[in-house]
Every structure is written in C-alpha cells, then in structure tokens.
Structure 1
C-alpha cells in the first residue's frame, strides 16, 4: 500500500519537453486515484462490525474497482472488532458465573456475511483485473498507432503545416487514452515525445501558429508551476502530494514551449515538486517509524502474555491475578496504532494465539479444579455420614478415638467450594459435638471421683511420710496396709498422675530403706502399683501378663523339683559334697522366694480383674 504512495513521480532529466513523462508515467496515471482512496482508508474509522460489513457490501456490489489497500484494511478492522467482541462475550459469561470449559463460541452472522461478500469481491477483482489488462493492451496498440502516425507526419517536412490540425487531433486522442502496461509506459512516452518534438521542429511555414501554441503552453505550464509552488503551504502533506500528481499529469499532457524556455520551465516545476516530494517522503518515513514503534510495543505485549502463560500458577488466586494482568495488556493493545502492513496481521495473530493459550489453560485448570472439588466433596460427605453414625454411641473411649481419627482425615482432604464446605463442616462438627457433649456429661461423675481419689492418695502419702518420722510398732504392717489401700484407690486426674506417682515412690523408697524391707516386697508393691496402667490397656493386657507369670511360675516349680531330686544323689559325707549341697540349697531357696513373688503377682492380677468386673 505505501510503496505506491511513496514513489517520486517527478522526472529526473533536465529536458522537460522530451522526458517529462519518462519516469513511471503509467504508475502516475494508474495510481493517482488509488492514492486518494488509500488516504481515505487510513483515516476511516469503523466502530462496529456491521459498519465494516456495510462498506464491504458497497464495494462488492458497486461499479468501482475494489482497492486492495482498502480491502486489507477492512479485513484487519473486522477481525480486530470480531475478536474483541468474542473476548468480551466470554468474559461476561465467566463473570456471570458460567463455567469456562462449557463456554461455546456461537456462530456469528456478521462473519458469515463478511466472508461471503469477500468472496464476491475476490471474484470481482479477478474479473476487473483481467478486463484492465485487456484494456491496457488495446490502449498500448492505439498509442503505438498514434506514434506511427506522428512519425509519418515528420517524414514530409513540406506537408508539416498542412498536417498541423491532424497533429493536434492526434495529441488530443493521445490524452484521452489512459492506462497502458506499466512495463511499456516509459518507452512509449519517450517515443511519443521524440516524434512530437520532431514535428514541431518541422513547423516553419506556419511559425505564427507554432509561436501561439508555444505561448499558450508556456502560460499553462507557468500556472502549473505556481500551483506546485503554492502546495508547499498546504498543511495536509498527503493531499499536497495527490494534487501534485494531477499537476504532473497536466504538465505532461501540455504541449512544448519555445526551445529556449524549455529547460528553465522544467527546472522551476521540478524545484517546486522536489519540495512536496521531500515532505511526502518524510511523512511516510515518520509513519514507518511510528509503525515500527507500534510493532515493538505490540511485540513486547505478546512477550508479556506468553511469559504470563508459562508462569507456574499454584492456585485459583494466581490464575485470577494473571487474568487481570492479561485483560490490562489487552486494553493497552487497543490503544496502540497499526504496525507495518506486512506485520500487522502476523503480530495480531501472535497476540491472539498467546491470549487464547492463556484462557485455554485457565479453562483447563478450573475444569480440573472442579473435578477435585467434586472428589473432595464426596470424601467429606462420607466422613459426615460416619460421624453421624457414631454420634449416639456410648462407647466413650473407642468412639472418641474414631472421631479424632475422622477429624484428622478431614484436615487432609483438600478444599471444596466455600458454600458447600461450610454446610458439610457444620454437619460434621455438629455430629462430633453431639457425641463429645454426651460423653462429657456422662463423665462428669468420673471427674469428681478422680478428684476424690487424688485427695485420698495424697492423704495416704502424708501418712507414709509421718511413718518415716515416727515409726512406732508394727511399722511394716502399717506400710503394707497403706500401700494396699493406695493401690486399691482408683484413677486420679490425668495431669496429676505423674507428679503423684513420683511423690509416692520417693516416700516408699525412703521407708523401705529405713525399715530394711526386702527387695522382693518392694518389687511386689511396684508391680501392684503398675497394674493400674496395664489394666487401662484392657482385659487382654492383664490376661497376657497373667499367662506370662503362670509360665514363669511353672518353670520355677520344675527347676526346684529338679534341684531337690539331685540333692538326694549327692554324697553328704565328702567336704566337697557338703559345699555343693549348701550351694544347691541356696539356689532352691532363692527359686522358692522368686516363685512366691510370682505367685503374689498372679494373685494381685486376679484381684485387679475381680475389681474391674465389679465396676
């Protein structure tokens, strides 16, 4: 589009009369109207797709030849509006609560009409192009015939004056014939000017008519020079350039001036044209620079969108943040003008693909997120049902453990939509609270009992401390009685358990040390005291411990029997025999003491089991 506008149409040679039309004359003739149309295309702004479609219809069904520059501009404008409209529709759909993955692009009637009319224009352009090419060939043939006729006139100098009117008619006919093939235009024009000049040089007899013609042509060209010089004051550079093309056309079609004035007349016209051409050239250099700047800006925006698309997004918040950034970039894009034509569609396609890639990724993410939401919702619903099934249980210990496990599982499950999550959590929490409130109410008496047990055991510890200070008579019986009473007393509050245990055993250790109570007795007392902890693990733990002790008891019993049998075979007469007998008797006694301790432990377990059954 710009190449045809930027061509300098001023001839380069100094001889105005012989070379005024040699520099792209066909391009000047053919593109003068095109340049005006291009200027209007650059300035025309369409606000809606329907406006673009209406203009396309006018072109498709009008009589004018569709200009490629305008068609390309209309196509770019239509799809710019089309994609902006589609993005706005999708955004509105999502903001209204629609699901991105379910969004479907609806058929667009304007686009269908646009494509259909563009097809008509394509066929029309092809037809007109063919017609124009045929017309150019016909015009070429006509102008070649005119040149041959003028050439023939120059071969009869004596007939030049008589042929003057025929010569003028041929000149007029030449002016009326316009388009010719561009590759033939310069050669054609040079030949025409050559024989025109030759004919004028032959005009000797009718010098008055020749001088009159020179004078009239000089007046016309002087006026054209003045008009060209005045164009320097024109503020609209494009308009000035277009007007200059018309002046050039008229300058070429005007006949020659006197030979001595030809060079100066052409020099004046060329100087005025140079000013306009330089302004025009600078205008398009500035326009190209601006378009290159726009291309750089749009390339940067494409890179930003592509970078945002590649960034790792850890959650919905990251996607929403990125969406706002993309929308801001799209808004900025709309404020930037056109890029160079050869890149304008390409850079827009790059931007569109980058944006589509982002929103496609976003739709896929939220599709997966919705699936995860559905899975998590089902998991939490299952936990709610399990909690509800346990809420009326009176198996306090077991059910407490189960509900605590369910609560831990709940925390491991991912997020669900807030509204649904709140409803499920309220149901789950309600079921848990229902059970724990019932358990707390049932255990209120247990807590009072544990507090009473604490006070009772603290009283026993105080009595044991008093025995250290004042032993008195039957001290061992008193200690045994107090330890039995302590062991028979039930549970105390959990937070007081360790402190009480430590204090109790410190007192007993001092008493045993002071009273020289046997280690076996101390082990038995410790065993009885630890039975409470074993009992808390359940009846199976007590049974397991009793079975282990019974095996140990039977083993000791067999060992004692073995030793006693062996003692009957030993010879007590020898000194060595007496020593061995004494050693075996000591082992037997030790085994009997240990067996008795095991027996006492078994009795203690039986007593604990009976106590638990009574509860």
Structure 2
C-alpha cells in the first residue's frame, strides 16, 4: 500500500518566460504575477486539505493488513513533497512518544503542519511494523504454525487513528476558514481597486489624493491570500490603476520622485537577494525563498518609467538562474526514479524466478525463503519509481512474494498433517513395545521388538520435540526387555566365552602341528578334531570368525597329510606292480581295467558335486559355509583321480 504522499507535488511553472518587446511594464508584471500565482502557498494548502479522506487514512489502514508471510513487514513507502527534507522531522524512540505529540497537535489551537503529521504517521508505522515482525519471529522460533499466526489488536494503533481523525478534521476546518478568509480578502482588494480607479478619474484631485493612495497601498500589502483563480486579474487591475494614478501626479512631482526612489532602492535590494540565491546549496530552499522575494516585489510600488524595464530585467535574470536549477533538480530526480524503476523491475523478475522453482522439501522452501527475504531487504534500499509506475511495480513485487509465501504456507500445512499421521504411527509402536516390556518369552518377544524397530525406521519425520519424546519412550521400553533378557542369560554367555577360549586353544595346537609335523601327524589331528567337536556353543558374534580360522588350518593339514599318504601309496603300488606282472599280462590288464572304472567313478562324483554346487544360495552365512565344505570334497576327489591316473600310467609303462 502506497500513501498519497508518494506522489510528487506539481512543480510551479518557471518564472523566466521571454517577454516580447512590445509588452508594457504592466503586462510584464502581469506575466510574472501569473507565474508566481501558480506556486503560492495558499494553492498548496488548498491541495493538501482537499485530498480524499481515503488517502489520508491509507497509512493507518496498512497497519491492519494480514501478515501471512515474511513479505508483509515492509513499511509504507513515502516521500516528502518536492523532494524537500521535512523540516518537522524528529527521531522518535517509541509509539507512545508519537501519540503524545499527536495529542499535543490535536489539542492545540494552531493549524497542524502537514509535514510533521506525515512524518509522525511514517514514524509510527515503522515502529508498529517492527514490533509486529518481532512478534511473528518469536512465534515461529517457538515452533508456532505460520498459518495460525494472528495480528492482535493494538491499543496504541487505535489511539493513533483516533488522534489522526481529530487532526484531519482540524485541517479541514482550517481549509474552510482559509477559503472564507480569501473571499473576504478578495472583496477588500476589489474595494481598494475601486477607490484607486475613482482617484484616476479625477486628475485635478491627484495631489490631494496621494496620501490616501499610500494608505490604500499599505492596506493592500497587509491583505494576504485571495482565491488563486482571481489573483491574476486582481493584480493586473491594481497595477494598472496605480500606475495611471502616478502618471497624474504632475503637481506633486517631488513626492512622486521620492516614492520612485524608495521603490527603486527596495527593488534593487530584492534583485541582490535573488542573485545571492544562486549560491544557496539547497535548491528547494532557494526556490521557496525566491517565491517570497517575488511576493515582496509585487507588493512594492512602481519606479520611474524609464527604469521599470531595467529593474525588472535584472530581477527576472536572477529568477531564471534559480528556476533553471530547480528544474534541473527535478529532471535529475526523474532520472533517478527511472533507474530505480529498472532496479525494481529486475528484483520483480528475480522474485518471480525464485517463486517458479520447484520446492520438494522443507529445506528447499527455507532456502528460497531466505533468498526472497534478501531481495525484499534490497528493495527497501531503492528509492521511489516514477509516480505513474510506483504503485504498479510495488503491486507486481508484492504479488510475486504473496504467491510464494501462500504456496509455502500450503506446503507446511500438508507437512504438518503428515507429521501428525507419523506421530500417531509412532505412538502406536510405543504402545506395542511397552506392552512387551515385561514378557519372559525371550525369543518370540525379541523377534517382535526387532520387527517393531524395523517398522519404526520406515515411518517419516515428526516435529523434533515430540519425536525426541516418542523415541525416548520407545527406546526405554525396548531396553527394559533386553536388559532383563540379558540378565537371565548372563550364565550362558559366560559358558560360551569359556568354550570360545577352549576352541581357540585347539586351533593354536593345530597350527603348531603345521610347523612340527611327525609320523603320527594324522593321529594327532584326529584327536584334536574330536575334542573340538565335543565343545559346546560359542558367542554368536565370534562363531563365523572361529569357523573360518579352524577350517583354514585343517585344510592346510589335510593337504600335507594327503600328499604324504599319496606318495607312500604310489611307492607301494610300484613295488607291488612287479609281483602282479609276474602273474602274467592278464593280471596287469585286469588291474588297469579296475583303475579305469575307479577313475570314471571319481569323475562322476566330481560332476555331481559341481552340479549341486550351482543350486546353493550363497546369500546366507550358512550357505557360504556349505559351499566351502563341498569345494574341499571336490578337491579331494580330484586329487584321488590324479593318483589313479598316475597308477594307470605306471601299468602302461610296465607293459611296454
């Protein structure tokens, strides 16, 4: 929402219009009067008081706007009229101070100054929005729902609006009183003109009427504002008849010349003052001071006819310098406004691009929220855009922000519903776990609790505070049962650890046989394996590791034993082969046939084991152990096949 003070006040027309050579002195003064009249203070006050009541209340209504998101904490955009710094500006630390000042203004007999009233309104809502933003931030930090945040009624704001209403009524009354005063002043000045006009029609009485003219001129000067639409015509008639009267002063030429001299001195001082304004650093202040000088110039009587053009040209030249500076100031202001419009358009496009991006998680929403808030902060650092576009560009920016934060609110509303559903599921698991806490069916209950723990992991998130409490209750119930079970099985675990130590001792003794093998190696291995088999269970976590160590040492021992036995059997076979040969060639053939059948039998067994091996599932630890055992058997059969093959070769060599 943009206050009515965002609009720049209309600039008065420049005072340096070129005058045709044919113009009279009266026409020149009329032209100057016309320019000055458009910038008079009475016209400005009329414009201010006549503004719609809705615009006067715009700032107050903004405080009642719904704040559904972070984008609504921006203060009302305002700017002082004509770019001039507010002379009534004062820093206020609290809304109470502002309200006290408003009460002073409302209770005073003086007419409220618009500049100060606007400043008080801007300062109040700046503090008001800051308080509201702090309340919303604290609410959200405490875990509140953004959709349920409500702006509570503010007693200070209600008081503020009431006092502003009183002040607005006072300004309206002042405006009406001022208009009435202008009408009265108009009638008085018209009366003065009629009196001077009557003097002009009686030239013979000019000298006697001179003092009366001076009184009328002084009275004219003391009369202030008149209706703006009558000012030009009024001044033109007044100047015309005053000059005509002075032209009639033939008999009292000395008094007339003295009056011309005093007027020339005064107008010369006004020219010098206008020329000094070129060095005034404040362009706006210089322009307003120039208006006062022009008002005084108009109220000063005429100078000698031959000097009128010259003194007016000097005053006009000084005015032209100030008017050009004033005009250049507003041209630069408009240029900056165009730059601000370009910057604000870019920020609108940036926010619209962020709003178009997809947000799948709350982290995405928070990330983009921070980006939009950063853009909003940047927006606040940029000044006003041109008057025609200022409201439109602000509405475009606000619409993009509202769209984003509206969809964010809907997302978190749905997320909250999902959280509630997840919380109910976890509460149900807590109740199931607590119901099993005192169970003594150790195996079945353990399986059930483990299943509940797996199900817990499949449920989504819940609010942290509630989630921590639910997890604590669930874990407490599980721990209570498992601690009781462990206490009951404490003796069993001690026995399993003792069995573990005994089996490790046997493994160590088997490893020693690898280094110190004797003739009775096979017998020692057989004894140790029988002892190992008689030992009971070991802890579950150590079972697989122990199994691997045990079979690795056995495999190495069996390999050594097999090689030694095979060599001994081969030597015996060769020694016995000569005895078989002595029985005849048929005996060797029979032995070779028996060995061939044995070879085929071993080969068939190897194929059977290898086929069965393909059907085993190695995903479990038990399946893996069985595969290792079958591989050892296959290797043993292949070694036997190699031994039979060597015996057949020995028979074939004997036959040769």
- TM class by shorter-chain length? 0.5 to 0.7
- The alignment of Structure 1 onto Structure 2 pairs a total of residues equal to 495
C-alpha separation in 1, matches of 2:255 and 2:144:
87
Alignment of 1:234-313 (within 5 A): 234-298=280-344, 300-301=346-347, 304-305=350-351, 307-309=353-355, 311-313=357-359
Structure 1 match to 2:469 = 420
Kindly state the Cα deviation for residue 103 of structure 1 after the two structures are TM-superposed. Answer: 3.4
Alignment of 1:458-469 (within 5 A): none
1:75 to 104, 121, 131: 121
Structure 2 match to 1:19 = 28
C-alpha separation in 2, matches of 1:346 and 1:62:
39
Conservation of the 8 A alpha-carbon contact between 2:425 and 2:459 = yes
Structure 1 match to 2:370 = 324
Structure 2 match to 1:612 = none
Q: What is the DSSP-based 3-state SS (H/G/I as helix, E as strand, rest coil) of the residue aligned with 1:161?
A: helix
C-alpha separation in 2, matches of 1:104 and 1:448:
62
2:625 to 493, 496, 518: 496
Corresponding position: 1:3 with 2:9? yes
Structure 1 match to 2:608 = none
Structure 1 match to 2:188 = 142
2:205 to 155, 159, 166: 159
Corresponding position: 1:114 with 2:124? no
| Change in 2 beyond 3 A, CA 1:377/1:187 | same
Structure 1 match to 2:89 = 44
| Change in 2 beyond 3 A, CA 1:447/1:429 | same
Q: TM-score, normalised by structure 1?
A: 0.66
Gaps of 5+ in 2: 1-6, 49-79, 497-535, 560-564, 574-593, 603-619, 641-656
Kindly state the Cα deviation for residue 274 of structure 1 after the two structures are TM-superposed. Answer: 0.9
| Change in 2 beyond 3 A, CA 1:168/1:374 | same
Q: Deviations over 1:288-335 (max 9, x none)?
A: 433444454455445545554554333333343344334444444444
C-alpha separation in 2, matches of 1:81 and 1:348:
21
Conservation of the 8 A alpha-carbon contact between 1:26 and 1:180 = no
| Change in 2 beyond 3 A, CA 1:492/1:47 | closer
Conservation of the 8 A alpha-carbon contact between 1:90 and 1:103 = yes
Kindly state the Cα deviation for residue 26 of structure 1 after the two structures are TM-superposed. Answer: 3.7
Alignment of 1:378-457 (within 5 A): 378-387=424-433, 392=439, 394=441, 396=443, 405-416=451-462, 417=464, 419-420=468-469, 422-423=471-472, 426-427=475-476, 430=479
Q: Deviations over 1:455-482 (max 9, x none)?
A: 99x99x99xxx9xx9999xx9xxx9xxx
Structure 1 match to 2:151 = 105
C-alpha separation in 1, matches of 2:281 and 2:201:
50
Structure 2 match to 1:209 = 255
Structure 1 match to 2:648 = none
Conservation of the 8 A alpha-carbon contact between 1:16 and 1:262 = yes
Conservation of the 8 A alpha-carbon contact between 1:25 and 1:186 = no
Q: Deviations over 1:506-536 (max 9, x none)?
A: 999999xxxxxxxxxxxxxxxxxxxxxxxxx
C-alpha separation in 1, matches of 2:403 and 2:126:
18
Q: Deviations over 1:368-390 (max 9, x none)?
A: 43443332233123234445556
Conservation of the 8 A alpha-carbon contact between 1:153 and 1:199 = yes
Kindly state the Cα deviation for residue 179 of structure 1 after the two structures are TM-superposed. Answer: 1.4
Structure 2 match to 1:92 = 138
Q: Deviations over 1:144-175 (max 9, x none)?
A: 22222222221222222222222222222221
| Change in 2 beyond 3 A, CA 1:30/1:114 | same
Alignment of 1:218-229 (within 5 A): 218-229=264-275
Query: Please, what is the CA RMSD of the aligned residues?
Result: 4.8
C-alpha separation in 1, matches of 2:165 and 2:402:
28
Kindly state the Cα deviation for residue 254 of structure 1 after the two structures are TM-superposed. Answer: 0.5
Q: Deviations over 1:229-286 (max 9, x none)?
A: 1111222222222221111111111111111111111000011111111122222333
Conservation of the 8 A alpha-carbon contact between 2:33 and 2:298 = no
Q: What is the DSSP-based 3-state SS (H/G/I as helix, E as strand, rest coil) of the residue aligned with 1:114?
A: helix
C-alpha separation in 2, matches of 1:74 and 1:299:
30
Conservation of the 8 A alpha-carbon contact between 1:18 and 1:194 = no
Structure 2 match to 1:131 = 177
Q: What is the DSSP-based 3-state SS (H/G/I as helix, E as strand, rest coil) of the residue aligned with 2:258?
A: helix
| Change in 2 beyond 3 A, CA 1:40/1:31 | farther
Q: What is the DSSP-based 3-state SS (H/G/I as helix, E as strand, rest coil) of the residue aligned with 2:151?
A: coil
C-alpha separation in 2, matches of 1:44 and 1:188:
38
C-alpha separation in 2, matches of 1:198 and 1:74:
52
C-alpha separation in 2, matches of 1:139 and 1:347:
46
C-alpha separation in 2, matches of 1:100 and 1:281:
50
Kindly state the Cα deviation for residue 120 of structure 1 after the two structures are TM-superposed. Answer: 1.0
Kindly state the Cα deviation for residue 496 of structure 1 after the two structures are TM-superposed. Answer: 2.0
Kindly state the Cα deviation for residue 63 of structure 1 after the two structures are TM-superposed. Answer: 3.4
| Change in 2 beyond 3 A, CA 1:72/1:453 | closer
C-alpha separation in 2, matches of 1:4 and 1:95:
48
